[in-house]
Amino acid sequence: MRDVAIIGVGLQPWGELWEKSFRDLFVEAALNALDETKVDKLDNMYIGCMSGGLFVGQEHIGSIMADYLGQRYLSAMRVESACASGGCALRAGFIEVASGISDIVLVGGVEKMTDVSGDGATYALATAADQEYEVYHGATFPGLYALMARNYMDRYGMTRDQLSAIPVKAHDNGHNNPNAQYRMKLSVEQVNNSVMIAEPLRILDCSPITDGAAAMILCPLDRVKELSDKAPIKIIGSAMATDSIALHDRNDLTTLDAVKVASEKALKMAGKGINDIDVTEVHDCFSIAEIIVSESMGFFAPGKGAEAAANGETRVDGKHPINTSGGLKSKGHPVGATGIAQGIEIVQQLRGEAHNQVKDAKVGVTQNMGGSGGSSVVHVMEVA
């Protein structure tokens, strides 16, 4: 396998973007990524998108995006693992370049979620859960994560204030991120008093519905000098794992096994331990997710993640900086794009270009999650 580097990254400001179509979003992010490189012509493209069919009535997403990006005839496919689709695109592109079959691969993600009316977005997102055993019986995602939060509280005595530390930190970081959907700062009191969605989760525990896209350009490490002037970032670990898609069938509600397995595999491939990681983006679709993920990855012992977050250990200047971008909560969560945007934050941290720069960041990790933890994709990156 060849060494693979990221030589260009691109986003656009995320939000509720009525004036931009599904294809506009992707093309804008892809052109921004290409602009960081000297690449004119791609060899291949992988696009993460969770549900083009339900959100915008468009499948065949690889072709439409290749066409609108001016790269007709390109090989281009869409990959999907619910909200981990972006991570899948990065993994597929990494394998493609590592294999030697292609040199220059764009990996991207896109979702336009605000064009559906009524409960259309809730229905579309629920297709990441088990349709027959969960959704049919009325479960939605806030409800599934609420079960995890309640179980965690019962077992470990997490307080409401500890849980609120997650969105407060997210918005403190997102406040400095010009592409974030919600840049206002939050107080613990605001989170504690926000509208209840699924007990104990309140509206400010939940990531928003977002229109957005993200893209990265990959190439073999030995071609970086010729293709970009930016400091190349090397992908040194990549792994994906699944778990039972239905929550009731898991071994334990306060551990995410897919996260644990993918994280261990990716770190092993990278030859790193968890304490070698300087900066991490995790999938905080709900406040409780960030806490359980941080434990399942091994940053904190079981039951210690909430306390660690409340003590500031996951802040930019903490021992384990997590979600310096603002996370899904502040930055937004266009589901197919999230995994790529996580990678972009890590690339910018490792280049020393981040909005909330972690000092001397040399190794970073992304953890992207599908559904209530039915899948997880983890990547480890390093300054080349």
Of the residues 5, 135, 139, 322, which one makes contact with a second copy according to CB under 8 A: 135
Applying CB under 8 A, the site for a second copy has a residue count of 67
Q: Output 54 or 383, the one with its CB closest to a second copy.
A: 54
Residue 29 sits in the site that holds a second copy (CB under 8 A): no
Q: Among the candidate windows 123-131, 187-195, 320-328, 343-351, which touches a second copy by CB under 8 A?
A: 123-131
Q: Which of 29, 146, 166, 241 binds a second copy (CB under 8 A)?
A: 241
Please pick, from the candidates 13, 21, 192, 298, the single residue that binds a second copy as defined by CB under 8 A. Answer: 21
123 lies in the binding site for a second copy (CB under 8 A): yes
- The answer to whether 83 is a known catalytic residue is yes
Q: Which one of 91-99, 138-146, 301-309, 351-359 is the stretch in contact with a second copy (CB under 8 A)?
A: 91-99
Q: Which of the residues 199 through 238 are near a second copy (CB under 8 A)?
A: 238
Q: Choose one: 5-13, 89-97, 141-149, 164-172; the region binding a second copy (CB under 8 A).
A: 89-97
Our measurement of the distance from residue 241's CA atom to the centroid of its chain's CA atoms, rounded to an integer in Å, reads: 15
Task: Specify the stretch interacting with a second copy by CB under 8 A; choose among 86-94, 170-178, 182-190, 196-204.
Answer: 86-94
Q: Which two tokens stand for residue 297?
A: 């990855």
Question: Does residue number 131 form part of the binding site for a second copy (CB under 8 A)?
Answer: yes
Query: What's the rounded Cα separation, in Å, for the pair 342 and 281?
Result: 6
Q: Quick check: helix, strand or coil at residue 169?
A: helix
Q: Is 283 a known active-site residue?
A: no
The reply on whether position 72 binds a second copy by CB under 8 A is yes
Judged by CB, which is closer to a second copy: 141, or 152?
A: 141
The CA distance from 218 to 105, in Å, is: 5
CB of 384 to a second copy, least distance (A): 20
Residue 379 identity: H
The one among 53, 120, 200, 318 contacting a second copy by CB under 8 A? 53
The candidate with the shortest Cα–Cα distance to 337, out of 48, 27, 24, is: 48
206 exposure class (CB count in 10 Å sphere: 0-12, 13-18, 19+): buried
Considering the complex, what minimum distance in angstroms separates the CB of residue 131 from a second copy?
Answer: 4
Does position 243 interact with a second copy (CB under 8 A)? The reply is yes
Residue 73 interacts with a second copy (CB under 8 A)? yes
Q: Phi and psi (nearest 5°) for 5?
A: -120, 155
Residues 70 and 9: beta-carbon distance below 8 Å: no
Segment interacting with a second copy (CB under 8 A) among 63-71, 154-162, 295-303, 309-317:
63-71
First to last CA, the chain: 16
Would you call 63 helix, strand, or coil by DSSP?
A: helix
Q: Please provide the size of the chain in residues.
A: 384
Out of 171, 320, 333, 379, which one is annotated catalytic? Answer: 333
Q: Which stretch binds a second copy (CB under 8 A): 27-35, 125-133, 152-160, 189-197?
A: 125-133
Main-chain dihedrals φ then ψ at residue 322, nearest 5 degrees: -130, 130
Q: Is 122 in the site for a second copy (CB under 8 A)?
A: no
Q: Does an H or E element contain 196, and which? A: strand 196-198
**By the rule CB under 8 A, 249 interacts with a second copy:** yes
182 and 16 Cβ atoms separated by less than 8 Å: no
Pairing of strands 233-242, 4-11: antiparallel
Report which of 142, 84, 381 is spatially closest to residue 258, judged by C-alpha positions: 84
317-356 footprint of a second copy as x/- string (CB under 8 A): ----------------------------------------
- From the list 289, 360, 286, the residue with the least C-alpha distance to 321 is 360
Instruction: Check: CB of residue 290 under 8 Å from CB of residue 330.
Output: no
Q: Give the three-class secondary structure for 23.
A: helix
- Out of 83, 88, 219, 285, the active site residue is 83
Residue 163 CB, nearest distance to a second copy (Å)? 26
Contacts of a second copy in 254-283 (CB under 8 A): 257-258, 261-262
Residue type, 197: I
- Respond yes or no on whether the N-terminal peptide bond of residue 200 is cis (omega within 30° of 0): yes
Q: Counting contacts by CB under 8 A, is residue 127 touching a second copy? A: yes
User: According to CB under 8 A, which one of 284, 371, 379, 380 is a site residue for a second copy?
Assistant: 371
- CA triplet 240, 28, 175: central angle to 5 degrees? 75
Catalytic residues: 83, 333
